[in-house]
Structure 1
Amino acid sequence: MSLVAAPPRRVLADVFTRSGSRGRTFAVDAALVVTGAALVAVLAQVEIPLQPVPITGQTLGVILVGAALGPWRGAAALTTYLLAGLAGLPVFAGFTGTIAAVMKPSFGFVIGFIFAAFVAGWFARKAWDRKPVLAFVGFAAASVVPFVFGVPYMAFILNVVLGGEFTFVQILEFGVFPFIVGGVVKAAVAAALIPAAWALVRKVDARSKD
């Protein structure tokens, strides 16, 4: 089947799972999920240290993985990433990984990554990842999702668990404002990479037909 005429709801990972037995497809899906988790782990080590939440390359990885794998595989990859870190593997920022991470103010963002990957994958299923402008809008929306989980979690850890007295504005200064520009940049990078990857796939597919 030609990718040029492929249904618009495909995602990049479907290129690798479009044929084969059910067992082979499951194995490929599992490999894609693990690879996605590994990519996020690598990008998590790209870090600008800030307190209480550092700026890392995780969000870029989350968007790329979600868009490339689709909503469910993307969410599975980020769930794998979270569980690997809690199990002690050094996949979180700063090559850390421990069950104690649940006590960090930034852990809520890691939880939010699962849902952000799903949202990025959902937009990809809608074929928004084919054009840079639509991809940017979808990926920017996905980039907001971790804050929905991360900000309340950070406020809980800082004010309830640790006994702080931080105001709502201070929480935003810690967990939102420093990341706005970086989030826009990462969404733009993903919006350039994913459509470019689709263009490459179409080009390769066209050559294979010649």
Structure 2
Amino acid sequence: MTTVATPTVLLADRVLPRSLAADVGLVIGGAALTALLAQVTVPLPLVPITGQTMAVLLVGATLGASRGAASMSLYALLGMAGLPVFSDGSGGMSVVLSASGGYIVGFVAAAALVGRLAERSWERTFPKALVTFVAGTGVTFVVGLPWLAVVAGLDLQGTLANGLYPFVLPGLLKAAVVAGLLPVAWKGAERLAARRRG
């Protein structure tokens, strides 16, 4: 006997009926949100603390793996094309090729991982959401740290001091904030869906 798995409804799909136009709009909207939160920045010598990672977590959790990764890919491509979507209104290939460029590339993988876990409903309760968002943040570092080491010519201690240690507490805080927001957003989306049906 075979069973057919029913696809998990994502938050974006609970709010908006799924269509090609909605998917395109959501992918563009996710890239725009990331560009907006990139302007929330705390400057550091090599890699600034920004709101981008919070946007990556939100986009992945609400859109799922494929649309989340597409949104972050669009964000990176817009920045590489020279649009001022990166931190401090910067853009261009020079940003992606800089010491912080690996984090931007890592956003694609992070959104995909968070999205895949959201497709398994991991973003609906605070404990699982926190694990999901810490894992997504970790993926960004898995890509960003080696990139930083190579581009900046840093040893392991220099890489960790410039690319990890200053971001641990802010990263955990951002993950906790998003983990608190998503279950509340789900409750609102379910009430909205019930009103539409009713």
Match status 1:130 vs 2:110: no
User: CA offsets, 1:44-91, max 9 Å, x none?
Assistant: 000000010000000000000010110000000000000000001000
Shift of 1:141: 0.6
Structure 1, unaligned stretches of length 5 or more? 1-6, 19-24, 160-165
Tell me, in whole angstroms, the C-alpha distance in 1 between the residues paired with 2:36 and 2:162.
Answer: 24
Partner of 2:151: 157
Structure 1 residue identity aligned to 2:150: F
Percent identity of the aligned residues?
Answer: 44
Partner of 1:163: none
Tell me, in whole angstroms, the C-alpha distance in 1 between the residues paired with 2:17 and 2:176.
Answer: 28
CA contact (8 A) 1:120 1:139 kept: yes
Tell me, in whole angstroms, the C-alpha distance in 2 between the residues paired with 1:12 and 1:179.
Answer: 28
Tell me, in whole angstroms, the C-alpha distance in 2 between the residues paired with 1:209 and 1:36.
Answer: 27
Partner of 1:3: none
Alignment of 1:107-146 (within 5 A): 107-146=101-140
Shift of 1:17: 3.2
Alignment of 1:2-81 (within 5 A): 9-15=8-14, 16-18=16-18, 25-81=19-75
CA contact (8 A) 2:82 2:92 kept: yes
TM-score (norm 1): 0.88
Structure 2 residue identity aligned to 1:146: T
TM-score (norm 2): 0.93
Structure 2 residue identity aligned to 1:116: A
Partner of 1:196: 184
CA contact (8 A) 2:96 2:104 kept: no
Which 4+ residue blocks in structure 1 deviate beyond 4 angstroms? none
How many pairs were matched up?
192
Structure 2 residue identity aligned to 1:110: I
Match of 2:81 among 87, 92, 109: 87
Structure 1 residue identity aligned to 2:169: V
Shift of 1:170: 1.2
Shift of 1:209: 3.8
Structure 2, unaligned stretches of length 5 or more? 1-5
Tell me, in whole angstroms, the C-alpha distance in 1 between the residues paired with 2:155 and 2:94.
Answer: 25
Bigger Rg, structure 1 or 2: 1
User: CA offsets, 1:9-63, max 9 Å, x none?
Assistant: 2111222234xxxxxx112111110000000000000000001000000000000
Shift of 1:8: 7.1
Shift of 1:208: 3.3
Match status 1:96 vs 2:84: no
Structure 1 residue identity aligned to 2:25: A
